[in-house]
């Protein structure tokens, strides 16, 4: 029993210490574990099953837009990494270097990919000759390495899993279209499937990706009021194409540079699921992404009639849902607590009295609401309950997010909000990096994005008082 006990021991409460609550949840919901490899995690079955579901759903949405999957080498020779100036400056300080192959030193050292723009560019330079070869809309699912100093499960680790899409187009317009299209694919997925509302917008130049002309982002608000960049999509213009000489002949036989994009979403998003939906009993998983959607807990499982009925109901539900039954030798109370910790969306309790009444008790993980359901209608009712729960979880997260968005009309107000509250602050900005730096230093907020839906809160920059150019979402970020 020792091990079960460990799981259902109370975790730190969110209000008391959010960071400790987070660490407790990832460990006790058995999503990850630490390893002997500093800064790297093991993703355990419950965590990896989540990632598999994310992959499956996102990959399907990618393919609907014409994306094809490929696999590039994990190593980048130093000379290749250095070809695009901004890019190498952004990444070189945080890569892992391979210097020896077997017993011999390498002629040229290679880094483990922190991202694969340079590899795709090198490949496209050979692969693309004519307009007939365009567009290329490739993606890969892989792991990447960034040598971070401080790490946190899912949010920041030296190795993480992600997908990175890399495309090449004939025109600037097409590249811009693809950049925005993929941002919306991410946003729709995160909202519809993960039940996390996001702000869609553009990064300021200071915050954009190393080597990009423009970076677009979706930003989500965690329960503690901090922002989490949940996916990004970059338009490179022809910058990389010029550095790597990726040219094509058009229909008039004229040579032009291609226009490129890249876009990615990583296991970091699992951190967002935890921090948006979780509560003091553990993880809460949206039904559409939960590896196990329903757990049936038999009451008095030693009675044959109960065991049989549970198996029957499980078989019926298995046609539509991912369902398990817990026949382990723990008490029902232990089982309830375990499944709450693991975030399983719905629990069904069936005991002798329920069977007599031809009913069962369904308990929603998010609200703890108990619903009596006739066994005759179990399939349709579970569908209804899970759909409602999915919708409610999104609405609840949106309400929480909206309640933590503040407008700041001047600098003092901005400072006061950041000091006293947590969340997004909306304020106007002149477009100068100087103001961003000042706001970061003095107020402790970074620009999260310039939302697609722009408003004119004031005419002047919240910081310097010069003419405002854009509405910006500011916040403290993970």
Could you tell me if 51 and 267 are in contact, meaning their C-beta atoms sit under 8 angstroms apart? yes
Does residue number 378 form part of the binding site for its own copies (CB under 8 A)? no
Does residue number 182 form part of the binding site for its own copies (CB under 8 A)? no
Could you tell me if 444 and 425 are in contact, meaning their C-beta atoms sit under 8 angstroms apart? no
Chosen residue from 9, 65, 73, 368 binding its own copies by CB under 8 A: 73
Which residues from 92-121 bind its own copies, rule CB under 8 A?
A: 93-103, 110, 112, 119
Burial 358-375, CB ≥16 within 10 A → b, else e: ebbbbbbbbeeeebebeb
Does residue number 331 form part of the binding site for its own copies (CB under 8 A)? no
| Closer Cβ to its own copies, 38 or 319, answer by number | 38
Which CA distances in Å does 262 have to 73, 134, 136, 137, 236?
17, 15, 11, 10, 8
Does residue number 313 form part of the binding site for its own copies (CB under 8 A)? no
Burial 284-319, CB ≥16 within 10 A → b, else e: bbbbbbbbbbbbbbbbebeeeebbebbeebbeebee
Residue 425, beta-bridge partner list = 406, 474
**Residue 366 in tokens:** 């998010």
Does residue number 356 form part of the binding site for its own copies (CB under 8 A)? no
Does residue number 52 form part of the binding site for its own copies (CB under 8 A)? yes
Site size toward its own copies, by CB under 8 A = 57
| Closer Cβ to its own copies, 114 or 287, answer by number | 114
Kindly tell me the sign of the dihedral angle through the C-alpha atoms of 8, 286, 183, 473.
negative
Does residue number 72 form part of the binding site for its own copies (CB under 8 A)? yes
The DSSP secondary-structure symbol of 94 reads G
**For residues 437 and 415, what is the distance between their CA atoms, to the nearest angstrom?**
14
| Closer Cβ to its own copies, 162 or 429, answer by number | 162
Does residue number 80 form part of the binding site for its own copies (CB under 8 A)? yes
Could you tell me if 152 and 132 are in contact, meaning their C-beta atoms sit under 8 angstroms apart? no
Does residue number 247 form part of the binding site for its own copies (CB under 8 A)? no
Does residue number 318 form part of the binding site for its own copies (CB under 8 A)? no
Scanning 12-20, 32-40, 223-231, 408-416 for contacts with its own copies by CB under 8 A, the matching segment is: 32-40
Whole-number minimum distance, CB 145 to its own copies, in Å?
7
| Closer Cβ to its own copies, 20 or 130, answer by number | 130
Chosen residue from 7, 49, 371, 457 binding its own copies by CB under 8 A: 49
Q: Where are the beta strands (DSSP E) in 222-350?
A: 227-237, 247-249, 255-257, 259-266, 294-298, 323-325, 346-350
Scanning 10-18, 88-96, 273-281, 352-360 for contacts with its own copies by CB under 8 A, the matching segment is: 88-96
Q: Where are the beta strands (DSSP E) in 300-385?
A: 323-325, 346-350, 359-364, 370-374
Side by side, which strands form the sheet with 346-350? 323-325, 294-298, 346-350, 359-364, 370-374
Does residue number 253 form part of the binding site for its own copies (CB under 8 A)? no
Hey, is 205 helix, strand or coil? Answer: helix
| Closer Cβ to its own copies, 36 or 456, answer by number | 36
Chosen residue from 126, 150, 253, 302 binding its own copies by CB under 8 A: 126
Could you tell me if 352 and 361 are in contact, meaning their C-beta atoms sit under 8 angstroms apart? no
In which residue are the tokens 């560019």 written?
121
Whole-number minimum distance, CB 54 to its own copies, in Å?
13
Does residue number 40 form part of the binding site for its own copies (CB under 8 A)? yes
| Closer Cβ to its own copies, 18 or 62, answer by number | 62
**For residues 146 and 155, what is the distance between their CA atoms, to the nearest angstrom?**
12
Whole-number minimum distance, CB 93 to its own copies, in Å?
5
**For residues 276 and 77, what is the distance between their CA atoms, to the nearest angstrom?**
40
Whole-number minimum distance, CB 213 to its own copies, in Å?
25
Whole-number minimum distance, CB 248 to its own copies, in Å?
12
| Closer Cβ to its own copies, 15 or 329, answer by number | 329
**For residues 360 and 396, what is the distance between their CA atoms, to the nearest angstrom?**
27
Q: Pattern of binders to its own copies over 142-181, x per CB under 8 A? A: xx-x-x----------xx-x--------------------
Chosen residue from 26, 43, 81, 346 binding its own copies by CB under 8 A: 43
Does residue number 138 form part of the binding site for its own copies (CB under 8 A)? yes
Whole-number minimum distance, CB 139 to its own copies, in Å?
10
Does residue number 218 form part of the binding site for its own copies (CB under 8 A)? no
Long-range contacts made by residues 58-65, C-beta under 8 angstroms, separation at least 24?
58/163, 58/185, 58/189, 58/265, 59/141, 59/163, 61/185, 61/188, 61/189, 62/139, 62/163, 62/165, 62/185, 65/137, 65/181, 65/182, 65/185
Scanning 140-148, 352-360, 365-373, 399-407 for contacts with its own copies by CB under 8 A, the matching segment is: 140-148
Whole-number minimum distance, CB 48 to its own copies, in Å?
5
Could you tell me if 68 and 75 are in contact, meaning their C-beta atoms sit under 8 angstroms apart? no
Whole-number minimum distance, CB 94 to its own copies, in Å?
5
Of the candidates 219, 175, 216, the residue with the CA atom closest to the CA atom of residue 199: 219
Binding site for its own copies (CB under 8 A): 2-3, 33, 35-37, 40-45, 48-49, 51-52, 68-77, 80, 93-103, 110, 112, 119, 122-123, 126-127, 129-130, 132-133, 138, 142-143, 145, 147, 158-159, 161
């Amino acid at each position: 029993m020792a091990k079960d006990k460990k799981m259902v021991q109370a975790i730190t409460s969110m209000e008391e210490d959010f960071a400790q609550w987070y660490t407790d949840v990832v460990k006790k919901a058995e999503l990850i574990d630490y390893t002997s490899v500093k800064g790297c995690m093991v993703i355990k079955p419950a965590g990896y099953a989540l990632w598999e579901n994310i992959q499956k759903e996102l990959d399907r949405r990618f393919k609907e837009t014409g994306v094809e999957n490929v696999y590039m080498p994990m190593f980048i020779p130093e000379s290749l990494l250095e070809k695009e100036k901004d890019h190498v400056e952004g990444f070189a300080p945080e890569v892992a270097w391979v210097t020896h192959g077997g017993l011999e030193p390498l002629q040229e050292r290679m880094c483990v990919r922190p991202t694969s723009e340079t590899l795709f560019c090198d490949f496209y330079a050979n692969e693309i000759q004519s307009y007939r070869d365009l567009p290329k809309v490739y993606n890969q699912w892989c792991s990447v390495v960034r040598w971070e100093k401080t790490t946190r499960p899912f949010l920041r680790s030296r190795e993480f899993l992600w997908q990175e899409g890399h495309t090449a187009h004939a025109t600037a317009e097409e590249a811009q279209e693809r950049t925005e299209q993929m941002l919306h694919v991410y946003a729709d997925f995160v909202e519809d499937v993960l039940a996390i509302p996001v702000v869609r917008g553009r990064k300021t130049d200071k915050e954009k990706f190393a080597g990009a002309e423009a970076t677009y982002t979706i930003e989500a608000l965690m329960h503690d009021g901090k922002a989490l960049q949940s996916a990004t999509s970059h338009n490179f213009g022809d910058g990389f194409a010029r550095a790597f000489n990726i040219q094509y002949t058009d229909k008039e036989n004229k040579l032009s540079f291609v226009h490129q994009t890249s876009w990615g979403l990583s296991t970091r998003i699992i951190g967002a699921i935890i921090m948006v939906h979780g509560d003091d009993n553990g993880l809460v998983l949206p039904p559409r992404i939960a590896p196990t959607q329903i757990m049936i807990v038999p009451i008095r499982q030693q009675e044959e009639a109960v065991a049989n009925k549970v198996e029957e109901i499980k078989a019926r539900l298995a046609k539509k849902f991912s369902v398990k039954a817990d026949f382990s030798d723990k008490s029902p109370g232990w089982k309830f607590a375990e499944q709450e910790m693991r975030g399983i969306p719905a629990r069904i309790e069936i005991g002798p009295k329920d069977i007599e009444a031809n009913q069962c008790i369904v308990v929603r993980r998010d609200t703890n609401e108990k619903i009596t359901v006739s066994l005759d209608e179990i399939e349709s009712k579970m569908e209804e309950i899970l759909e409602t729960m999915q919708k409610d979880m999104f609405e609840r997260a949106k309400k929480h997010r909206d309640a933590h968005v503040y407008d700041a009309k001047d600098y003092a107000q901005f400072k006061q909000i950041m000091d006293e509250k947590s969340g997004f602050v909306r304020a106007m900005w002149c477009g100068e990096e100087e103001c961003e730096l000042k706001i970061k230093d003095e107020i402790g907020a970074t620009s999260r994005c310039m939302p697609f839906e722009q408003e004119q809160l004031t005419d002047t920059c919240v910081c310097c008082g010069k003419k405002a150019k854009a509405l910006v979402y500011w916040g403290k970020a993970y």
